[in-house]
């Protein structure tokens, strides 16, 4: 005969004076042990247990709080009815009766009545629930987050994508507000900014890169999101993201990143960017003494595109194409060795000669535009072009590949770029705040939901060195 076990789970709640407040069986299960799927608690059993336990604990805590605050040393407060409230938790919604009392004459105040639970429940959503919704709504969609929580927890059946979206925006808005109230000159270890940092500027690398999203309000246009990663020796990496037009305090956001790495807010850093206009504007908000360096990958990509045009030109003007390729190699060599001034002069001469070129090459107009763009690109970033050969020989980072992988993860996966999803600037900015596309989060906690910062993994940031740049010109 199959055997059946009766499992009774009893709950006892005892006050600090050893008075038993509640003693009852909150769940009874009849479990048979003759089938594999009947072994242990099933998911529905665990959800039912957590929901019942949460109701009992919250009700007991609320009742104890009311009892402590309904009396003064001289009199007992007179009641004025009650009204229902709902406390939303990760283990279900807990309905409560919130009584209202008349204030006694011993404690005069502006209002004649008060509600103790209104003072206790400053928010009707538990921090744990906000944490879980923000944690999972960052790497996956709002709909999948709501479905996941309903599958594994006893959250209310009313949990839906719109609720998750509103809660995530609420957390992100609170984080933005905290940026304006935090002390920018303090570190986690309590030391004030202005004290000499034991870490050199070269030891702290910040990579900033951007990606584009389709605009919900203007279907024909796109807007840029900026994502950055800060790496320091013997410290955890930290990430940040923003939409430039929606961020009123980008400098405070970066100071917060440094603070969470245990660094002073005025710590100079080495910043690698792609040289775009919006990224250069963000660099201006970094601490004084920071060094801005142009990412070599984006420089090499522009030179590679021009080299492809030269190959196309070879089918129509072989001599001019050979000369063009030779001049491009010389410009690239100058850039690799940090000679930005000479590279700019040669790029200008090249652009003038290409503009005067007469050829039947169909891509000539695009070649002219690309050479003129190279001149503008070098001119705008002439102060940020470093000696990449020397940095490479010393094993230093010359590429923002470590930040670019973050952009690919955020833009391509969470923002569903391949699906052509459309976003508002505000919605994209708020989604970037709690934990954009987190693979793991070491600083988030339910108790510290305001301080949730993204932490994610990224591939190595090595970049192969072009062999042609080892030649001398």
3-state secondary structure the chain: CCCEEEEEEEEEEECCCCCEEEEEEEEEEEEECCCHHHCCCCHHHHHHHHHHHHHHHHHHHHHHHHHHHCECCCCECCEEEEEEEEEEECCEEEEEEEEEEECCCCCCCCCCEECHHHHHCCCCECHHHHHHHHHHHCCCCHHHHHHHHHHHCCCCCCCCHHHHHHHHHHHHHHHHHHHHHCCCCECCCCCEECECCCCCHHHEEEEEEEEEEEECCCCCCEEEEEEEEEEECCCCCEEEEECHHHCCCHHHHHHHHHHHCCCCCCCCCEEEECCCHHHHHHHCCCCCCCEEEECHHHHHHHHHHHHHHHHHHCCCCHHHHHHHHHHHHHHHHHHHCCCHHHHHHHHHHHHHHHHCCCCCCCCHHHHHHHHHHHHHHHHHCHHHCCCHHHHHHCCCCCCCHHHHHHHHHHHHHHCCHHHCCEECHHHHHHHCCCCCCCCCCCCCCCCCHHHCCCCCCCCCCCCCCCHHHHCCC
Structure tokens at 323: 């000369």
In tens digits, the chain (473 residues) has pLDDT values of 567 888 889 999 998 888 888 888 988 888 887 788 888 888 888 999 999 999 999 999 999 898 887 766 666 667 678 889 999 999 999 999 998 888 777 766 677 788 888 888 989 999 999 999 988 888 888 999 999 999 999 898 889 999 999 999 988 888 877 775 555 444 444 444 445 455 777 778 888 888 888 888 888 888 888 888 888 877 888 888 888 888 877 777 888 888 888 888 778 888 888 888 777 777 777 777 888 889 898 899 999 999 999 999 999 999 999 999 999 999 999 999 999 999 999 999 999 999 999 888 999 999 999 999 999 999 999 989 999 999 899 888 888 777 777 777 667 667 766 656 788 888 888 888 875 434 334 334 444 443 443 333 333 233 333 333 333 33
Domain boundaries, the chain: 4-124, 297-384
Distance CA 318, CA 311 (A): 9
Question: So what's the pLDDT on residue 455?
Answer: 35
Question: Which pLDDT score is estimated for 73?
Answer: 61
Give the predicted TM-score (pTM) of the model: 0.71
Q: How far apart are CA 247 and CA 178, in angstroms?
A: 13
Q: Are strands 113-114 and 204-215 parallel, antiparallel or unpaired?
A: unpaired
Residue 443's pLDDT is 39
**Residue 215 CB-density burial (10 A; 0-12 exposed, 13-18 middle, 19+ buried):** middle
Res 189: pLDDT:
47
Q: How far apart are CA 9 and CA 99, in angstroms?
A: 31
Q: CA-to-CA distance for 66 and 88, rounded, in angstroms?
A: 19
Exposed/middle/buried for 433, CB within 10 Å: 0-12, 13-18, 19+? buried
What are phi and psi for residue 408, nearest 5 degrees? Answer: -60, -40
- Per-residue pLDDT at 457: 34
Structure tokens at 261: 């790495």
Return the pLDDT at 377.
93
| Model pLDDT, residue 326 | 95
């Amino acid at each position: 005969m199959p055997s059946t076990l009766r499992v009774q789970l009893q709950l006892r709640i005892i006050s600090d004076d050893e008075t038993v407040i509640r003693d009852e069986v909150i769940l009874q299960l009849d479990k048979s042990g003759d089938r594999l799927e009947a072994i242990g608690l099933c998911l529905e059993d665990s959800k039912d247990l957590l929901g019942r336990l949460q109701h009992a604990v919250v009700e007991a805590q609320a009742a104890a709080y009311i009892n402590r605050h309904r009396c003064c040393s001289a009199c007992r407060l007179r009641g004025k009815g009650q009204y229902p409230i709902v406390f939303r938790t990760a283990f279900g919604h807990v309905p409560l009766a919130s009584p209202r009392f008349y204030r006694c004459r011993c404690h005069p105040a502006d209002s004649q009545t008060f509600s103790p639970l209104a003072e206790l429940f400053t928010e009707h959503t538990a921090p744990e629930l906000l944490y879980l919704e923000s944690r999972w709504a960052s790497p996956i969609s709002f709909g999948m987050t709501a479905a996941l929580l309903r599958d594994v927890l006893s959250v209310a059946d009313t949990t839906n994508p719109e609720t998750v979206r509103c809660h995530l925006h609420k957390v992100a808005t609170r984080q933005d507000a905290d940026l304006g109230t935090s002390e920018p000159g303090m570190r986690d270890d309590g030391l004030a900014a202005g004290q000499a940092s034991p870490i050199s500027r070269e030891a702290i690398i910040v990579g900033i890169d951007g990606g584009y999203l389709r605009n919900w309000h203007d279907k024909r246009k796109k807007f840029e999101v900026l994502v950055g990663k800060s790496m320091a020796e013997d410290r955890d990496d930290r990430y940040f993201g923003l939409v430039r037009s929606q961020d009123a305090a980008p400098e405070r956001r970066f100071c917060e990143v440094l603070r969470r790495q245990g660094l002073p807010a005025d710590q100079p850093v080495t910043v690698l960017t792609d040289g775009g206009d919006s990224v250069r504007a963000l660099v201006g908000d970094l601490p004084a003494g920071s060094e801005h360096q142009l990412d070599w990958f984006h420089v090499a990509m522009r030179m590679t595109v021009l080299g492809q045009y030269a190959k196309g030109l070879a089918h129509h003007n072989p001599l001019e194409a050979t000369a063009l390729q030779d001049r491009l190699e010389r410009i690239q060599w100058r850039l690799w060795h940090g000679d930005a001034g000479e590279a700019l002069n040669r790029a200008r001469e090249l652009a003038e000669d290409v503009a005067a070129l007469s050829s039947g090459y169909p891509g000539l107009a695009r070649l002219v535009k690309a050479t003129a763009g190279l001149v503008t690109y070098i001119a705008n970033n002439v102060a940020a072009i470093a000696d990449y050969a020397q940095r490479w020989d010393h094993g230093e980072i010359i590429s923002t590949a470590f930040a670019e992988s973050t952009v690919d993860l955020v833009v391509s996966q969470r923002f569903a770029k391949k699906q052509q999803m459309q976003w508002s600037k505000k919605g994209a900015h708020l989604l970037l705040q709690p934990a954009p596309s987190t693979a793991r989060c070491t600083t988030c906690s339910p108790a510290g939901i305001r301080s949730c910062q993204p932490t994610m993994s990224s591939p190595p940031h090595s970049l192969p060195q072009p062999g042609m740049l080892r030649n001398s010109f």
